[in-house]
A and B are shown apart, each in its own frame.
Chain A
Amino acid sequence: QSMLTQPPSVSGAPGQRVTISCTGSSSNIGADYDVLWYQHLPGTAPKLLIYGNTNRPSGVPDRFSGSKSGTSASLAITGLQAEDEADYYCQSYDISLRLRVFGGGTKLTVL
């Protein structure tokens, strides 16, 4: 059972906007630890999408954006494309367990 809770799945049509939530607690996100987001396609290495809650590494389209409030964070994807179909994971740090923690992952389906 992950300490960061994500919805198992989300879906959207091409061109639409979807959001993926990541709910933590006072010992991780709420303790002011940064949230990161990764995109993971089957058979490939995970790819960093967002670091420092809201920042995109170079090469990541601005269709991807991150936000954080209190003990939760969100990843928003606008202008949904077929190539966005993948698993998405949030990650933070838990001070009580001294553990880099991942969310359970969310499967995005592009309808």
Chain B
Amino acid sequence: QVQLQESGPGLVQPSGTLSLTCGVSGDSISSSNWWGWVRQPPGKGLEWIGEIYHTGSTNYNPFLKSRVTISMDKSKNQFSLRLNSVTAADTAVYYCAREGVGSSWYFWGQGTLVTVSS
């Protein structure tokens, strides 16, 4: 069974960098799938952040593109999210996910709350 687990600081200073890692078990991130990040600000809906393919190819939300970097570490079977110049608007539960049937986000981590505050 594919399992994903987000990890990283729960509190980030304004103007700082948000960094999260998604550890993967039950599958290899070298498999032919997209691996992505989705977030949910408090009281709001889901927002796609971006994704990375096993080849290293990436796609980003154009509204976040200038601040986002998604990378992968095949030796650790994990992928990561970096979001620069954060503000309070970036406070959210961040989920990592793996693409599944029908280009869906099928496998999800449990999510981790990241608060941007001084």
Which A residues fall within an 8 A CB radius of B? Answer: 2, 34, 36, 38, 40, 44-46, 48, 51-52, 55, 57, 87, 89, 91, 93, 97-105
A99 close to B62 (CB less than 8 A): yes
| A45 in contact with B111 (CB, 8 Å) | yes
Asked if residues B111 and A48 are in contact (CB atoms below 8 Å), the reply is no
- Closest-CB distance, A87 to chain B (whole angstroms): 8
Given A57-B101, A99-B61, A99-B62, are A44 and B110 also a contact pair (CB < 8 Å)?
yes
Interface of B is mostly: mixed
* Chain A nearest CB, measured from B112 CB (Å): 11
Q: Which of B36, B63, B103 has the most CB of A within 10 A?
A: B103
Which residues in B have some Cβ–Cβ distance to A below 8 Å? 36, 38, 45-48, 51, 59, 61-63, 95, 100-106, 108-111
CB pair A40–B59 under 8 Å, yes or no, is no
Question: In the complex, which residues of chain B have a beta carbon less than 8 angstroms from the beta carbon of A91?
Answer: 46, 104-105
Given contacts A45-B95, A102-B45, contact A97 B104 (CB under 8 A): no
Known: A45-B95, A100-B36, A100-B51. 5 other contacts (CB 8 A): A2-B45, A36-B102, A48-B100, A48-B105, A91-B46
B104:A89 contact, CB within 8 angstroms: no
Q: How far is the CB of B53 from the nearest CB of chain A, in Å?
A: 14
